[in-house]
Amino acid sequence: MQRTASILVRLGRFALLALAGEVLYTTLRDLPQLEGIDASGTLGDPDAPPLRIAVLGDSSCTGPGLDDPDEIWIRRIARNLADRYYVTVDSMAIGGSRAHDVLRDQVPAILPTRPDLALVSVGSNDMLYGVPVRVFERNLERIVTELLSSAAVVIVSGVGDLGTIPRLPFALTRLMRFRAARADRVHTRIASGNPRVFKVPIREQTADAFRDPRVFSHDLLHANGRGHRLWAEAAQPTVEEALALYR
């Protein structure tokens, strides 16, 4: 019995290595490599009530392939809030980040700013590169816990349907759809355990639209301006709900 369990563990590790190899091939094959943008900035009337938004996460927050930071979904939301607030966006997001990177590098950098609202968008890279779901959940829980020591409220993005990414080999689409759904449920569990934590229904609101390859940039991996608009529309009600309770 013990030997069987050991074999299964080794097979699981081999499967994760194979997955990482497939994703590495997908990332490095001959397609454009796009640079991200810093979403940080201020919007609105300086005489309006201040609102500080912290942004932590991966390339979903840096908009590779976009020409203007105002196209990024977070900046679209900030612009919608700028008719009521003087909005400061502090983004620590870095493309390619996994949850452990956010925990190690981005959270300590953002805590001193004491944001009114912290937005966390992470999980896609964890799922693409074979990070075990339980490890991802542990890291995301720690991210949220540490942010709550400084931020009034935390919003987690959820994880959309990674199986729709055009750049993925067809053999990976079903697996990525499954792993992304598990990661999204992690976001849901963490948000449901604390009244100061909210989750964007990103999967429910955008999965169908992201089956259209026209929402992706020409690297066939990252969302384009249309995709970011869809994300902003999905997230705006959650942001409004959080602000209504904690402002």
What CA–CA distances, in Å, run from 212 to 52, 174, 207, 227? 34, 17, 10, 10
Statement: residue 186 has pLDDT above 80: yes
Which pLDDT value is given to residue 4?
A: 54
Instruction: Provide the residue ranges of all domains of the chain, joining segments of one domain with +.
Output: 2-246
Mean predicted confidence (pLDDT) in 5-19: 52
Which pLDDT value is given to residue 33?
A: 76
Cα torsion 208, 213, 216, 221: sign: positive
Which pLDDT value is given to residue 28?
A: 43
Statement: residue 100 has pLDDT above 50: yes
| Total residue count of the chain as it appears in this document | 247
Instruction: Read off the pLDDT band of 193 (50, 70, 90).
Output: confident
CATH, domain range 2-246: 3.40.50.1110
Identify which of 146, 95, 167, 92 has the alpha carbon closest to the alpha carbon of residue 125: 95
Which pLDDT value is given to residue 19?
A: 56
List, in sequence order, every beta strand (DSSP E) within the chain: 41-43, 50-57, 86-91, 117-121, 153-156, 197-199
Statement: residue 202 has pLDDT above 60: yes
Which pLDDT value is given to residue 173?
A: 93
Cβ atoms of 131 and 98 closer than 8 Å: yes
What confidence tens digit (pLDDT) does each residue in 13-35 have?
555 555 555 554 555 455 567 88
Q: Which pair of structure tokens corresponds to residue 24?
A: 């590495």
Statement: residue 112 has pLDDT above 80: yes
Statement: residue 60 has pLDDT above 60: yes
DSSP 8-state class, residue 116: S
Mean predicted confidence (pLDDT) in 40-56: 98
